[in-house]
Structure 1
Amino acid sequence: MVSKSSRKFIATAATAALVASAIAPAVSAAEAASFKDVSGRYVDAVDFVVAAGANGKSSTNFGLNESIKRVDAAILLANVLGLEVARAPEAGFKDVPDRAKDAVNALKFYGIASGKNATNFGSNSFITRGELAVWIERGFELLGQSDFNFKDVSSNYEASVHALVANQVAKGFSNTNFGVNQIAKRGDYAIFLFKAAQAIENGDLALTIMHTNDTHSYVDKAPKLATAVKEVRAENPDALLLSAGDVFSGTLYFNEFEGQADLALMNYLGYDAMTFGNHEFDLGSSTEGHKSLSEFIKGADFPFVSSNVDFSKDALFNGIQSKGTIGEKMEDGKIFDGIVKVVDGQKVGIFGLSTEETKDISSPGKITFSNYVEEAKRMVAAFETQGIHKIIALSHLGYDDNVAYDNDLKLAEAVDGIDIIVGGHTHTKLTEPKLIDKEEPTLIVQAGQYSDLLGTLDVEFDYWGTITGYAGELVDLKDKAEDANAVELVKPFKDKVMELQNKSIGTSAAVKLEGERAVVRTQESNLGNLITDGMLAKAKSINPNTVIAVTNGGGIRASIDEGDITLGEVLTTMPFGNTLGIMNLKGSEIKAALEHSVSQAPNESGAFLHVSGMKFSYDSSKPAGERVVKIEVKGTDGTYTELDLTKNYLVATNTFTAKGGDGYEMFANAYTEGRISEPGFVDYEMFVDYLTQSETIEPKVEGRIVDTQK
């Protein structure tokens, strides 16, 4: 496969030649008009080749219908392409006249033309249409596949004829005969050269992309997003709108409507494609499994792209996924590995990738994930086989997430041919595109979270799909006016949510309950303490021998403000509806779990555990797996004793974590071995029950989790 950057030496020269033919009146239209045999469709082509150094057979006759020798064809092609003839070594042909040596040497050096044999170029032989097809395809690096039924095109000429036909450079003599062995005419050659240069010139593309990610059912903000989208489309009606996933989970809109409120807005906004985030699979362990996800897909007025996710083992998705296919004739409400969008006459390939970590941090059930690098390479090859070299990866891998799984930086480094990565998962606010500057450059964009921002990216491509210019920004939505139609669309959903949002649970918080992502994924918080205390209290009511409770920081999604606590605040903080599990674990398994909890510290990790009934300290400067310094368990008398690694303890958690979520393999083993009971109480209901035992609460950070390096 020829790299995009290696084609650049042609691009500049061919475009310059085309421009020269238009701005040099002394040798352009005046010259063509002076040839009595040039008229109609030949005029522009003859102007072009004359500007590149071609001569007529006489001052009044160009010789449109006369044959052309290989040596003369070589000189003209080298001139048109602007080849650096001085750097080319001697080709070794004995039959090339001095006037053509530089041109022939250059054509051979650049792999455009070869001789009849090692010592004979065939200078005085007349060139055939098939030979010209090969020279022009290689010289201009023409791309593309075409549909033809030419019976005279052998494998030697097939790729070249495909490219010429696809770029409308040449046609056959008939539907079944290209004329590979026919002697080419000077007029044909002029047209071939002119149209090849036009294809390069017209193959440039200015593409505008709008992008969102990790919107997490913040439907309230959609009317402002709609205004921003309409403003972009007012300037560029062909702008694409893409979602990098995690539309599901996060607010009461999802708890109540399970994606349908989001879908109504996405259909209204006219998304072009979406890929799947890990949270799209959060309902997999519920009674109805992925029913809401399948209904979300079926109801979409846009396609989904997902090259490394296989839905085939889940019957809810029967007939929805076309695995192994690129949807050029797309169907809305279906899943393709990739799709093709036509923008300003140019084909743009878009494929999807979801993080393999989903199996550890969500509940995909029978849905499986394959390696992102392997699938990305497969998709790039599939697009390029179709002559599509402007390629977008719609990615929910994370910008700089744990490389043991996957991330966008690694994707850009490992896979050539991806021009743009529109990312999500890490909620990264890339205020400007990240350029991965390599032989085939890649741009990475990501637009924060929660519909706070609309990402925009303007990219200029050359014919071969190489990025030649770009500019990107994040449009802040807070000051945008609300789109009236979107407001009306949201209203019935909002009315129901406000009813739930405003319902007091009857308890007041004397202090803010800290649930911000940067806190609960890195350190102890008063909210994490409160949640685990409530979990432990419920577990003790079921089995009094339960002594510890743990919960993952990734399951805490928002803070709760000081003052009266509403049901809406609780559901926003704990949106996943996880249920209680009680694990029977050895002390050694608990220690291993705590090592995993702090393995990423001080960086954010959804696996970071909040605890009740115990306290521990660790040293974040030590290697992962060797960080935990001391672990103590709280007794019934309130005193702490050191954890016994050989003793068994009953530990409460949510069933997501109990089944191995967030990478807790030691919990997954216990689950497989039947050492976990599932009483079935939902997390937010347990939390509300615990809170309502008091009129006012004032939880504190108590030193349950201490990093000795701080």
Structure 2
Amino acid sequence: MAAPAANAAATKEFPDVKKDFWAANSIYNLVEKGIINGYEDGTFKPNKELIRGHAAILLTKAMELPIPEDLTSFSDINSKSGFAEAAAATKQAGIFIGSNNKFGGTDILTREQVASVLVRAFDLVGTDEKVTFTDMDKVNPSHKDDVIILAQNGITTGTDSGKFDPKAPVTRASFTTFINRILEKETSNFKLSIMHTNDTHAHLDNVAKRSTAIKEVRAKKKDSLLIDAGDVFSGTLYFNEFRGKADLEFMNYMKYDVMTFGNHEFDLGSSPDGHKALSEFVKNAKFSFVSANVDFSNDELFNGIYHGGTIANKPSQGNIYSGIIKEVNGEKIGIFGLTTEETADISSPGKVKFQNYIEQAKKAVKSLEDQGVNKIIAVTHIGYDDNPEYDNDLELAAAVPGIDIIVGGHSHTELKKPVVIDKDKDGKAKDPTVIVQAYQYSDFLGTLNVEFDDKGRVVGQAGKLIKVADKTEDPVAAKMLKQYSDKIKEVKNTETGAVSTVELLNPRASETSSVSVRANETALGNLITDGMLDKAKEFNKDTVIAMQNGGGIRAALDKGPITLGDVLTVLPFGNTLATMKLTGAEINEALEHSVSQTPKEHGGFLHVSGMKFTYDSSKPAGSKVVSVEVQGADGTYTALDKTKEYVIATNAFTAKGGDNYDVFKKAYEAGRVTDLGLSDWENLRDYVTKLKTVEPKVEERIVDIAK
């Protein structure tokens, strides 16, 4: 395939690009800048389809990308290829990643593919402008957001017929026009890039892949801030064994910039050592901590590292401030932190006190603005849409002016796209606040690009979640992990001190049996729910019922000593315990959904403790439940009162509407759910250890009268 000539005369008019040609201005602008040239025959060939190799060359020149020493990063490109330098440069910049380690230099690019390439290359961010291409339904979902962003920035205006024509090959004229428009889009606006994690809960088995994801973003955006929104502590054996030291080694290696505290950072407060592990975590960190509403002043373990009420212009690593100011590309960025006040009820903070999040947020914003900062990030561990009785990000965004970005945690919310709040608590227009959260357990690395005008107002934003599992392992991080993971393998064989006198089966329906954990009461289901109820009562004595979805019980327990590994195999998802307030009528509705598919299997089939019920599987869905009784403190049962409010316990997955429990989802959205943040496997471990001898039975808690 012929390549454009290297030295076509910039001042000479191409015979196939007259001055009145629609793309003439863009073409001659880029020719004059030496970014693109014509062909050896003196033509430009504006309607020629553009291939990936030529696109990479144009981007390398337009962006002045550095050329790596290694030009063999793709298996189909050798160092002597005409595409070698541009392929390596665009790969290093995160623009062209390739597929199966192949660049595909002669592959023709479509218009939708080019949209993603340009958004990625130039960090373009979206606006509120509506895009009305009539063929948006034809755009591949993976490119749809980028097509919208390209149009919102005025880089593409579509075809004369009002379409974008996503599958059409992009031509040299079109691509040149796109590049020229981007380069001419001169702006004094400031762009900020953020990477964020939250609620990692000591899930380190994927940390080497997280490191790779972070390095890939930094290769393209070296000034990106890396922020964690809390709950690094608790959740796996890595924490139980190393008390945060393992997590911190990786956070230091990955070069986090700042972190706020989650409620689980305070889990050890009632232990003999108190918050020693937390204070050591802070002191050894190579980054700062922000916490505007947490008062550590009464705990001597934090003397010298806690600076309450201080907004630090030059923060020191290993110290706690209400907020800090970081300079990014000459601009001051204010960052403050908040932790849920509910921590006092669901963790063990000891002498550490929690203040009202709205009041402290307003103080922090004012202090930052008094120091000339007009770009402000709140790093929060209060939940995106969590119980408003305590606190959440939606309430914060509406109530406190001046917050531009909220990097959140606590509710384990998977915000696939940033949420923009542009109305205050009274419904009046306000400057935008962008909210992000990246689910849990380091499953994703969140990214956010925000554009500010000269007054510090957000005028554009784009963000996404990068799936960590799709990345290769950073070999350095993988080697670091081995010293910890080898120990964890040993620990999994540790006995809990409990012994099961019987084999606790976890049956599934088969050709020979209709008995299933997803359609029948089981002894193992009873053991798990009894443990949930026992743990929930420690935090809320009014809890009377526990429910566990059968789909979450993944393995049987053998007869004999129970190890930590056994417990983790039974409950591998790390779901947390939640309590919720439901009326008797809502409980009945939940039970109807539980048995709606019986006698067939259903992952949402509920195992129960503190109650018993009967149903008729021969009846239609929604009319199967026959009777429901709730167990009292004295062990006796009384009929469920549909008008009475009860406190029940379940896992957070179900509480938020998992397995299509709409009745639970409504309660969650109404603020009637409290996530205690206690991992299900830890609850089961604690319960069997407490019992010592484990011998649960099927007790006719759930009876199908049709049988």
**TM-score, length-scaled by structure 2:** 0.53
Corresponding residue of 1:379: 364
2:684 aligned with 1:687, yes or no?
no
Q: Deviation digits for residues 1-26 of structure 1, max 9, x if unmatched?
A: xxxxxxxxxxxxxxxxxxxxxx9xxx
Structure 2 residue runs without a partner (length 5+):
1-28, 30-185, 423-428, 509-520, 536-540, 591-605, 615-626, 642-667, 673-681
**TM alignment of 1:310-389, pairs within 5 A:** 310-389=295-374
For 2:342 and 2:286, the matched residues in 1 are separated by 28
Matched letter for residue 291 of structure 1 = K
Are the structure 2 counterparts of residues 429 and 613 from structure 1 closer, same or farther at C-alpha, using a change threshold of 3 Å?
A: closer
Q: Deviation digits for residues 226-253 of structure 1, max 9, x if unmatched?
A: 0000000000111000000011111111
For 2:194 and 2:534, the matched residues in 1 are separated by 50
**TM alignment of 1:153-552, pairs within 5 A:** 204-437=189-422, 438-502=429-493, 509-511=504-506, 529-531=526-528, 533=530
Q: C-alpha displacement at 1:296, in angstroms? A: 0.9
Other structure's SS at 2:476 match: helix
Are the structure 2 counterparts of residues 394 and 562 from structure 1 closer, same or farther at C-alpha, using a change threshold of 3 Å?
A: same
Other structure's SS at 1:463 match: coil
2:553 aligned with 1:568, yes or no?
no
Are the structure 2 counterparts of residues 315 and 226 from structure 1 closer, same or farther at C-alpha, using a change threshold of 3 Å?
A: same
Are the structure 2 counterparts of residues 527 and 499 from structure 1 closer, same or farther at C-alpha, using a change threshold of 3 Å?
A: same
Other structure's SS at 1:454 match: strand
Other structure's SS at 1:381 match: helix
Are the structure 2 counterparts of residues 227 and 693 from structure 1 closer, same or farther at C-alpha, using a change threshold of 3 Å?
A: same
Matched letter for residue 688 of structure 2 = F
Total equivalences in the alignment: 427
For 1:427 and 1:525, the matched residues in 2 are separated by 30
Are the structure 2 counterparts of residues 558 and 214 from structure 1 closer, same or farther at C-alpha, using a change threshold of 3 Å?
A: farther
For 1:352 and 1:320, the matched residues in 2 are separated by 16
Corresponding residue of 2:663: none
Q: Deviation digits for residues 559-606 of structure 1, max 9, x if unmatched?
A: 553465741353695999x9xxxxxxxxxxxxx99879989x97xxxx
Are the structure 2 counterparts of residues 553 and 238 from structure 1 closer, same or farther at C-alpha, using a change threshold of 3 Å?
A: farther
Q: C-alpha displacement at 1:358, in angstroms? A: 0.8
Matched letter for residue 687 of structure 1 = V
Other structure's SS at 1:229 match: helix
Contact kept, 8 Å, 1:633 with 1:643, in 2: the verdict is: no
Is 447-456 or 365-374 further displaced after alignment? 365-374
For 2:298 and 2:460, the matched residues in 1 are separated by 43
Q: C-alpha displacement at 1:362, in angstroms? A: 1.1
Contact kept, 8 Å, 1:633 with 1:642, in 2: the verdict is: no
Q: Percent identity?
A: 54
Q: C-alpha displacement at 1:702, in angstroms? A: 3.1
Q: C-alpha displacement at 1:693, in angstroms? A: 4.1
For 1:376 and 1:234, the matched residues in 2 are separated by 34
Matched letter for residue 211 of structure 1 = H
Matched letter for residue 561 of structure 1 = A
Contact kept, 8 Å, 1:213 with 1:247, in 2: the verdict is: yes
Are the structure 2 counterparts of residues 557 and 232 from structure 1 closer, same or farther at C-alpha, using a change threshold of 3 Å?
A: farther
Other structure's SS at 1:494 match: helix
Corresponding residue of 1:544: none
Q: Deviation digits for residues 365-412 of structure 1, max 9, x if unmatched?
A: 111111111111111111111110000000101000011111000101
Are the structure 2 counterparts of residues 575 and 392 from structure 1 closer, same or farther at C-alpha, using a change threshold of 3 Å?
A: same
Matched letter for residue 702 of structure 1 = R
Matched letter for residue 568 of structure 1 = G
For 1:467 and 1:682, the matched residues in 2 are separated by 44
Backbone CA RMSD of aligned residues: 4.8
Q: C-alpha displacement at 1:501, in angstroms? A: 2.2
For 1:370 and 1:537, the matched residues in 2 are separated by 30
Q: Deviation digits for residues 238-275 of structure 1, max 9, x if unmatched?
A: 10000000111111111111111111111111100000
Contact kept, 8 Å, 1:453 with 1:474, in 2: the verdict is: yes
Other structure's SS at 1:439 match: strand
Q: Deviation digits for residues 460-514 of structure 1, max 9, x if unmatched?
A: 111211112111000001111011111111111111111122557776542179x
Matched letter for residue 458 of structure 2 = I
Q: C-alpha displacement at 1:320, in angstroms? A: 1.6
Q: C-alpha displacement at 1:615, in angstroms? A: 4.8
Structure 1 residue runs without a partner (length 5+):
1-22, 24-200, 514-523, 539-546, 579-591, 603-608, 618-627, 645-661, 665-680, 705-710
Contact kept, 8 Å, 1:549 with 1:611, in 2: the verdict is: no
Are the structure 2 counterparts of residues 610 and 291 from structure 1 closer, same or farther at C-alpha, using a change threshold of 3 Å?
A: farther
Q: C-alpha displacement at 1:292, in angstroms? A: 1.0
Q: C-alpha displacement at 1:330, in angstroms? A: 1.0
Corresponding residue of 1:702: 701
Contact kept, 8 Å, 1:398 with 1:425, in 2: the verdict is: yes
Are the structure 2 counterparts of residues 312 and 387 from structure 1 closer, same or farther at C-alpha, using a change threshold of 3 Å?
A: same
Contact kept, 8 Å, 2:202 with 2:235, in 1: the verdict is: yes
For 1:346 and 1:296, the matched residues in 2 are separated by 30
